[in-house]
Amino acid sequence: MLEHNVKKRVAILQSNYIPWKGYFNIIKYVDEFVLLDDVQFTRRDWRNRNLIKTKGGLKWLTIPVNAKGQYLACIKDITTTDNMWRSNHWNQITDAYRKAPYFEQYEPIFKELYLNDDETNLSLINYKFINAINQLLQIVTPIKWSMEFKAPSEKTERLIHICRMLKGDIYLSGPAAIDYLKVDAFKEHGIQVEWVDYSNYPTYTQQTLPFEHGVSILDLLFHEGPSSIHYLKDKL
């Protein structure tokens, strides 16, 4: 329970597939986190793909989805074309990280997620990975779905509505929203907007150089294990 003089932070983001550390830093930093999956699915985006670091360089892992001709489909309605991607992604992750210090420790958890699950809904697939990774990072922030709030369709109004329903005082936004977010509208409702700063993350020992920050959090977990949480920033 928040004390009366402590402001409540809320973040609202689309679900991503095995997201990078900045995504989990946001979840850790706020008091309530909302998955915004009743918005349009965007192609070639983080919803169904992410990067891992291999000996040969950066590698995309992409979940094949049924999006052809569904230009206005919401993320929550997107499904996978099949489940063959699961073994394919797991094999590539194993090849890339089998020699990392903590791969063996976390292997059973991720092997279970990849090979013993038959979920085909993209939102739920992403949620399962996000939830499992939160547990490994000891992040306990409650996660809700935007569909719970019956929010208006206009971008800023939707976010304000969700913040108000959650009694949020501060909305934490990623820098990509700076072009469309109507900050004054938040102020009218007594909600302060804070912008995420993704700079100055500490580095850790990756298996190959040069160091890459913008890869899946799996990279950090397999290299730093239980210490991974210390590579997230205390302030965004």
Contacts by 11-15 with C-beta closer than 8 Å and gap 24+?
A: 11/171, 11/172, 11/173, 12/36, 12/146, 12/159, 12/162, 12/163, 12/171, 13/174, 14/39, 14/46, 14/47, 14/75, 15/47, 15/75, 15/122, 15/123, 15/126, 15/127, 15/130
Overall number of domains in the chain: 1
Q: 236 lies in a domain? A: no
Q: What is the pLDDT of residue 111?
A: 98
Asked whether residue 2 is domain-assigned, the answer is no
Predicted confidence at residue 152, as pLDDT, reads 81
Q: Does 3 reside within a domain? A: no
In a domain, 34, yes or no: yes
* Integer Cα distance of 9 and 58 in angstroms: 34
Each residue's pLDDT, cut to its tens digit, for the chain (236 residues) gives 455 568 999 999 999 999 999 999 999 999 999 999 999 999 889 999 999 999 999 999 999 999 888 778 999 999 999 999 999 999 999 999 999 999 999 999 999 999 999 999 999 999 999 999 999 999 999 999 999 998 888 889 999 999 999 999 999 999 988 888 999 999 999 999 999 999 999 999 999 889 999 999 999 999 999 999 999 998 88
Model pLDDT, residue 2: 53
Whether 174 maps to a domain, the answer reads: yes
Question: With contact defined as beta carbons under 8 Å apart, do 10 and 171 qualify?
Answer: yes
**Do 142 and 167 meet the contact criterion of CB atoms below 8 Å apart?**
no
**Residue 38, pLDDT score:** 94
Query: What pLDDT was estimated at residue 5?
Result: 66
Residue 79 lies in a domain: yes
| Helix axes 103-115 and 122-137, enclosed angle (nearest 10) | 160
Is 56 contained in some domain?
Answer: yes
Does 1 reside within a domain?
no
Q: Which helix (H) or strand (E) holds 6?
A: none
Give me the pLDDT at residue 71, please.
Answer: 79
The pLDDT score that the predictor gives to residue 163 is 98
Question: Could you tell me the residue range of the domain that residue 24 belongs to?
Answer: 9-231
Q: How high is the pLDDT of residue 141?
A: 98
pLDDT score, position 168: 97
